[in-house]
Structure 1
């Protein structure tokens, strides 16, 4: 199962990169006039989903730097009322492309609050530990493709987004999740 999932992600990434390299022969560089974007990303640097705002920080010819911040709530599957844990994905991405097709590289940090959960021996269910919430963070990396017109409008991005989970109260060592991807859809203006 893991091999099939790895093959599917690698195949998708290769196709996205091949498409973006085919489009890199764009000769005329267009300056981005649409400097802001709002989008929903499934997977990606937030883990599950996030509503994001992005803004153009720098551009020179075919090179652009974009910063983004988002918000997500992760549901904690425990007995009783559902606990919603907030996450705030932050990312800096570089885009390489002359017009609307871009190769995208990015790094970020996603801090999140996580409720402490213990197993209940009587019921076999998960229950929340009182006062046991803790702060955690993941460090995502992005390699992908981004379609965004310089003048604005609809855009999407797809990327391979592995991440490092930082040590916290529940885990003493760094953990690396190599199989992860994201798909973002939104509008730039």
Structure 2
């Protein structure tokens, strides 16, 4: 009798197994992100499968200038959306190419004032942990969270991001 009750509970538990993927057209999004791995960037995001959640990727390009310094960024990440009905927890990992150019002022060997344009490039690793509101039928999307970045010997654990865009 006990064995029969146990087997029926196992059968019920197996019948109620939730579907981890939200069926539907493959989710795609375009958004502008402030903060995060692109600092200020425009991004395209898509799912690999015909689902609204699960595994996907993003790629973007960003540019901004502050007091004569110019930054060009290219963030690329793999990400996973966990959740349903347009509300998702987003986890991601990737890298960003960052090119920084600036003007360097100095005295040369002839005691003359010189101005040179300098540039350097680097690759920064990035993670993403946050909330994503992405409507099932498309429309306005919203993302917010933290994106730790690491480069050379530095680590910034609490870099926030906020994005707004359109899902289709």
Same fold (TM over 0.5): yes
Q: Tell me the equivalent position of 1:6.
A: none
39, 44, 52: which is aligned to 2:36? 44
Q: For 1:103-114, what aligned pairs fall within 5 Å after superposition?
A: 103-114=89-100
Q: Tell me the equivalent position of 1:129.
A: 116
Query: Which stretches of structure 1, 4 residues or more, deviate above 4 A after TM superposition?
Result: none
Which of the two has higher C-alpha Rg? 2
Q: Tell me the equivalent position of 1:187.
A: 166
Q: Tell me the equivalent position of 2:5.
A: none
Structure 1 length-normalised TM? 0.66
1:175, CA displacement in angstroms?
0.4
Higher strand share: 2
Q: Aligned partners of 2:67, 2:136: CA distance in 1, in Å? A: 42
1:141, CA displacement in angstroms?
0.8
82, 87, 91: which is aligned to 2:77? 91
Q: Aligned partners of 2:158, 2:128: CA distance in 1, in Å? A: 12
Q: Tell me the equivalent position of 2:22.
A: 30
Unaligned runs of 5+ in 1: 1-26, 122-126, 168-173
Matched, 1:143 2:129: yes
1:76, CA displacement in angstroms?
4.5
The two structures, once aligned, show a CA RMSD in angstroms of 2.5
CA 1:72–1:128 in 2, change beyond 3 Å: closer, same or farther? farther
1:144, CA displacement in angstroms?
0.8
Larger RCO, structures 1/2 (Cα 8 Å, 6+ apart): 1
1:40, CA displacement in angstroms?
0.6
Unaligned runs of 5+ in 2: 1-17, 108-113
Contact kept, 8 Å, 1:103 with 1:144, in 2: the verdict is yes
Structure 2 length-normalised TM? 0.74
1:34, CA displacement in angstroms?
5.0
